[in-house]
Structure 1
Amino acid sequence: MSIIIDNEYNNYFIGDTEVRDLLTREGERNLEGLPNQEIDLKNLEKRIEAHSFVKEADVFRGLDGDIHVSVKQNRPIARIIRSSEDVYLDAEGNVLPLSDRYTARVIPITKSANIKSLDKGFFQDSAGQAYLSLLQFIENDQFWKAQLAQMHIDGKGKISFLPQVGEHTIEFGKPTELETKFKKLMVFYKEVLPVMGWDKYKRVNVEYEDQIICE
C-alpha cells in the first residue's frame, strides 16, 4: 500500500500506522495478496473517513497493482475549554475530540456560564456563524494567530482577548466588523504602544465605531 497524508496545515493527528490499522482492521485482514474482486475500495474509504481527524479519503488501485491511499485531515482552528473535557473546533464548525498523538497550536476559548454550550450547534446556527467567521479570520492571519493567546465570550456574547505580548486585555465586542476592528487594533500596536510603552495600558477597546479606547 502507498499512503499519502496531506499535512498542509502541519497537523499530525493521523499517521501511516493508523491508516494501515484502519484498512486492515488492526492487522486482522491483510490486503496484500488478495484478488481485486475481494477488495472493496469504497468500504476502505469509509473506514478511514470514520476516524475523527480525517476530512476525506481516496482509495484506489494504481496501474502498478498497489492500493494507493490519499488522506486529507481535518483542520482545528480553536480549542474549547470545558469543565468536563476540552474539544477542538474545526474550520467548518464541527467539534473534534482531543488527540493523544498530536496537540494543535490553536486559540483556546473560554465562556461565561450564561452562554450555552459551545458545541457544534452553537457555531452552526445563524448567531454562532459570526463567531466561527472570527475564528477563521484569526486562523488565516499570521500575525493575529501568533499574537492572540486566548479568547473569552462573556454573558452578553461580547469577546475579549488576552495577547501573547503585553499585559492588556483586548475588548473586541460582538464578532462584527472584523476587518475594521482588527485594523484599529493594529494601529494600537504600531502607533500607540511603541510610543507609550507596552506596560502603559491594562485594556484596549475597539468595540465602538471610529474609536480606540485605551486605559
Structure 2
Amino acid sequence: MSINIDNEYNNYFIGDKEVRDLLTRGGERKLEGLPNQHIDLKNLEKRIEANKFVKDAEVSRGLDGNVHVQVKQTRPIARIIRTNQQDVYIDAAGNILPLSDRYTARVIPITKSALIKPSDKGFFQDSIGQSYLSLLEFIENDPFWKAQLAQMHIDGAGKVAFLPQVGEHTIEFGKPVRIEEKFRKLMILYKEVLPTMGWARYKRVNLEYEDQIICE
C-alpha cells in the first residue's frame, strides 16, 4: 500500500500507522497479497472516513498493482473548553472533533456561558452559529490575529470578548457581525494608539459600535 496524507495545515492527527489500522481493521484483515477482485475500494474509503480527523479519503489501484491511498485531514479552527467534560475541537463546518493523544492543534480556545446550549447539540451548526464559525475562520486564516488572540468567550447574550496575548485589555467584540470592519478598527488602535499611549493604558476596548472604538 502507498499512503499519502495531506498535511496542508500542518495537522498531524493521523499517520500512516493509523491509516493502515483502519484499512486492515487493526491488522485482522490483511490486504497485501489479495487478488484485486477481492479488494473493495469504496469500503476501504468508508473505513478511513469513519475517523473523525479524516475529511476525505480516496483509495485506488495503480498500474503497478498496488493500492494507493490519499487522505485529507479535517482542520480544527477552535477548541471548546467544557466544564466537567473533556474539551473538544470544532472544524469550519461546526462538526465536533475529539482531542487527540497524537497531536494538539494550535487553535483559539473558547469558553461559553452556561446559557448557551452545549456545542455537541449543534450550536455552531445552526443559523446563529454560522456567524461564529465565520468569525473563527477569519481568525484562523489571519496569521496576526491567530497569534494575538489568546482566548474567546461567548456570553449569555451571544456577545464575544477576546483576551489578547499582548496587552492587559479585554476586547469587547460584540455579536459576530461586521467582522472585517471591527478588526480593521482594532488594527488601527494597535498600530497608531497603543504604541504611543502604552499597551497597559486601557483595560477595556469596545468594538461594537460603527465608526468608533471605546477605550477605558
Which of the five TM-score ranges fits, normalised by the shorter chain? over 0.9
The structural deviation recorded for 1:61 is: 0.6
Say whether residues 1:13 and 2:13 are aligned partners: yes
The structural deviation recorded for 1:34 is: 0.7
Contact 1:93/1:120, CA 8 A, preserved across alignment: no
Letter of the 1:180 counterpart? E
**C-alpha distance in 1, partners of 2:120/2:129?**
10
1:4-52, Cα deviation, whole Å (9 max, x unpaired): 0000000000000000111111111111111111111111000000011
Letter of the 1:110 counterpart? T
Q: What's 1:155 paired with?
A: 156
Which residues of structure 1 form unaligned runs of 5+? none
Task: Trace 1:1-215 onto structure 2 (pairs within 5 A).
Answer: 1-83=1-83, 84-119=85-120, 121-215=122-216
Contact 1:95/1:119, CA 8 A, preserved across alignment: yes
Normalised by the length of structure 1, the TM-score is 0.98
**C-alpha distance in 2, partners of 1:85/1:29?**
33
Which residues of structure 2 form unaligned runs of 5+? none
The structural deviation recorded for 1:120 is: 5.3
1:102-140, Cα deviation, whole Å (9 max, x unpaired): 000000000111121123511111111111110011111
Of all paired residues, the percent bearing the same amino acid is 81
**C-alpha distance in 2, partners of 1:110/1:206?**
20
Alpha-carbon RMSD across the aligned residues, in angstroms, is 0.8
Worse-superposed segment, 199-208 or 70-79: 199-208
Letter of the 1:177 counterpart? R
**Equivalent residues, number:** 215
1:163-203, Cα deviation, whole Å (9 max, x unpaired): 01111100000000001100000011001100001111111
Worse-superposed segment, 198-207 or 116-125: 116-125
Letter of the 2:81 counterpart? I
**C-alpha distance in 2, partners of 1:142/1:119?**
28
Contact 1:95/1:120, CA 8 A, preserved across alignment: no
**What's the secondary structure of 2:122's corresponding residue?**
helix
Normalised by the length of structure 2, the TM-score is 0.98
**C-alpha distance in 2, partners of 1:119/1:28?**
33
**C-alpha distance in 1, partners of 2:39/2:150?**
48
**C-alpha distance in 2, partners of 1:128/1:67?**
40
Taking a change above 3 Å as real, the CA distance of residues 127 and 193 of structure 1, as seen in their structure-2 partners, is: same
